[in-house]
Amino acid sequence: MKILITGGAGFIGSALVRHLIQSTGHSVVNVDKLTYAGNLTSLDSVSASPRYVFEHQDICNAAALERIFAQHQPQAVMHLAAETHVDRSIDGPAAFVHTNLVGTYTLLETARQYWARLPKEDQFSFRFHHISTDEVYGDLANTEDLFTERTPYAPSSPYSASKAGADHLVRAWHRTYGLPVLITNCSNNYGPYHFPEKLIPLIILGALAGRPLPVYGRGEQIRDWLYVEDHARALQRVIEAGTPGETYNIGGHNEQRNIDVVHAICDLLEALAPKHPAGVTRYADLITHVTDRPGHDLRYAIDASKIQTQLGWTPRETFSSGLRKTVQWYLSNPQWLDSLQDARSQGQRLGLSGIGQ
């Protein structure tokens, strides 16, 4: 297939693009606005492939999307472009409403109009895959509960509310217009090329620099962690074999308290980077508890049995193996961190946001 991927320069998007180019015969058209978290350096390993094309565009620009669809004639869309950081959504929700809702609407309408003009056999095989989050479900009060595809939506933050709204738009375009859509809701991703405002890369890089390691409250919030390359494999299975109109939850079967994640990173760094920053005796001594953020969900946990039984996907990485790979990658790839500074300079030239923590 030729697949149009939005947000393909971001963390999950770039992992998906690398996987599709390196491990399948699919072609990719990557549409990305290159905001602060988008980094083309993450795609250096595939950027020269004849099956890869980059389009520097905003998904809110209908005219640009119409041109891209007409020029590239995709057979599927995988929609990952989004504002994703909860703290940023609390400080500035307008950008999340604009990108996650208006952008999804614009992409849906452009895709629908393109799809409606296709020959019947191409309409039948076309897919619009919307990649979402488990945060749309809110949190779980009972420690034995799991999010299923039938869990009612109860988003807590401006970010999760905007993603929930996008999910509803996608379902409406399927029910009203017949657009063949797929939705996936995933748990917390981690792995290489992760922008360092998110927990795991923030802790790794903060510890190596000898900075305080901030933990919200007592760090007892529980998340299900999914290695990003496992997620990319799951997304491939859904776009190739998923049933239109269906939702698939994707989880790593790796529930961890935030404080335990931070301690696990510190323990790995003691073994893999035993030379401490000046004035630091143990990495764990840098842990600093800070005031909890508003509306912080206590626990997320995914029931991924549907995608396992219907599509045959299971994660390959345990949390232990995936976290070790992640820490080793950051230790071995300081040049990628340097590229973030280049991205900041590029963002300033383009009038985009700079890099923030």
Edge-first strand order for the sheet with 255-257 is 188-190, 222-227, 255-257
Q: Are 174 and 180 in contact (CB under 8 A)?
A: yes
**How far apart are alpha carbons 306 and 184 in whole angstroms?**
11
Catalytic residue numbers, as ranges: 134-135, 159
> Is residue 49 exposed (0-12), middle (13-18) or buried (19+ Cβ within 10 Å)?
middle
CA–CA dist 318, 76 (Å, integer)? 31
Q: Give 237's strand partners.
A: none
Helices (H), the chain: 11-23, 62-72, 86-91, 93-96, 104-116, 120-125, 158-177, 199-209, 228-241, 258-272, 305-311, 319-332, 334-350
Which runs of consecutive H residues, i.e. helices, occur in 188-257?
199-209, 228-241
Distance between CA atoms of 81 and 170, rounded to whole angstroms?
Answer: 14
